[in-house]
Amino acid sequence: MTVTAHTNIALIKYWGKKDSFLNLPTTSSLSLTLDRFYTTTSVTPTDAGTDTFVLNNQVSDATRVHTFLNILRTQLGDFPALHVSSDNHVPTSAGLASSASAFAALTGAVVTHLGLDLPNETLSRLARRGSGSASRSFFGHFAVWHEGVDDDSSFAESLQAPDMPIALIVAEVSGQSKKVGSSEGMMRAMTSPNYDDWIKQSANQFDDMTAAVANADIEKIGAIAEKNALAMHALNLTATRQPFTYFTDETQFILSIIKDMRRHQGILAYATLDAGPNVKIVTTITQAPQIVALLHDHLPQLKLDVALSGPGITYD
Ligand code: PMV
């Protein structure tokens, strides 16, 4: 059995943990699942005596997989060592976190292997322990991850939403930015004097975003997503412990082009950014080609992918 889970991009971000052991976030988050990028995973029993991991046909470091499988062993009951085989259809260089699709697919694969039939909300609780954003990758279209107050109440679920012609352009920024892992970045951001205000603002934006999604108002979805993401990145800059930024000069340049398109050409284009320099642009299916062409004029080398709304987890 092969399990497929797609990546998701948070439109309201998770950026801070109130419990780092359980991966309980400081805010609820809301995401769009993408059609183009996904992970396929299968698990089989192994005689190796320990969990093993092959990624894209290459034997890989199994430490993080093993740690996560041990969490599943305490949650679901002990099970023998497993061989995990995964293929990431997420270009690693695209700066899209493959951990979301990877831990969702792995959770689905293990639970099926054990012959258990659990609802996606329960799977999302389990996957959360591997990577917070993975909790949202079980659901197609839009998902919300409720921050919760404990292990049981922190899970994701589908956000009922009408079909809409939303598109997300991924601009793969070249050049190195500072590599700060998401957990480390969150810890630093939480030392910003603005952090408490960000939490409050995020709660309001979450409500506004939920309404915008229900109304299929892509303009509003983009506008709120951009505000939320830029405020998240401002926390990194204003951290009192080891302030940093994921932005490069090219990131800034792309952001200025997006603003320009919006102001002077009336194009619907809003940016969101995660734990890296790449820019993801919220727009409509019809306007995406124009944005791609304009960005290409300014930055001929820039790699651009257009993703649409994607499906939830599947089992073949
Ligand atoms: O799932 P993690 O621990 O890699 O954290 C993801 C953090 C962001 O991608 C920046 C935001 C989010 O909500 O996905």
Give the model confidence (pLDDT) of 36-61 as tens digits: 999 999 999 999 999 999 999 999 99
SS3 of 91, please?
coil
**pLDDT the model gives residue 98:** 83
* Residues contacting 307, CB < 8 A, separation 6+: 34, 35, 36, 37, 167, 168, 169, 170
Residues having CB within 6 Å of any atom of ligand 1 = 10, 13-15, 29, 97, 99, 131-133, 182, 274-275
| Average pLDDT over every residue of 270-299 | 97
- Per-residue confidence (pLDDT) for residue 179, from 0 to 100: 83
Of residues 5, 3, 2, the one with CA closest to residue 33: 5
pLDDT of residue 92: 62
pLDDT value at residue 177: 66
Q: Distances in Å between the alpha carbon of 298 and those of 168, 227, 251, 294, 302?
A: 19, 24, 13, 7, 9
Concatenating the DSSP letter of every residue in 149-188 gives SSTTT--EEE-------EEEEEEE--S------HHHHHHH
Q: Which atom in ligand 1 lies closest to the alpha carbon of residue 232?
A: 10
pLDDT surpassing 70 at residue 73: yes
Average pLDDT of the chain, as a whole number: 96
Q: What is the per-residue pLDDT for 155?
A: 98
- Alpha-carbon torsion, ordered 117, 120, 124, 125, to 10 deg: -60
The confidence score (pLDDT) of residue 175 equals 64
Taking the centre of ligand 1 as the mean of its atom positions, its distance from the CA of residue 273, in whole angstroms, is 10
Share of the chain above pLDDT 90, in %: 95
Find the DSSP H helices in 4-97.
63-76
Atom number of ligand 1 nearest to Cα 100: 1
**What does the pLDDT read at residue 90?**
85
Going from the Cα of 47 to the center of ligand 1, the distance in angstroms, rounded, reads 35
- Closest to 5 in 3D by CA, of 119, 124, 170, 147: 124
Q: Which atom of ligand 1 is nearest to the CA of 99?
A: 4
138 and 120 in contact (C-beta within 8 Å)? yes
Angle between helices 195-214 and 218-237 (to 10 degrees): 170
How large is the average pLDDT for residues 85-110?
86
Stretch 132-158: mean pLDDT, rounded? Answer: 98
CA 46 – ligand 1 centroid, Å: 32
Q: Is the pTM of this model over 0.85?
A: yes
Of ligand 1's listed atoms, the one at least distance from the Cα of 133 is: 1
Please say whether the beta carbons of 54 and 85 come within 8 A: yes
The whole-number average pLDDT for the span 227-252 is 97
Q: If you ran DSSP here, which 8-state letter would residue 309 be given? A: B
User: Residue 93: pLDDT above 70?
Assistant: no
pLDDT at 178: 65
Q: How many other C-beta atoms lie within 10 A of the C-beta of residue 68? A: 23
Site to probe by mutation for ligand 1, drawn from 8, 11, 13 as the one with most ligand atoms within 8 Å of Cβ, is 13
- Over residues 230-255, mean pLDDT: 97
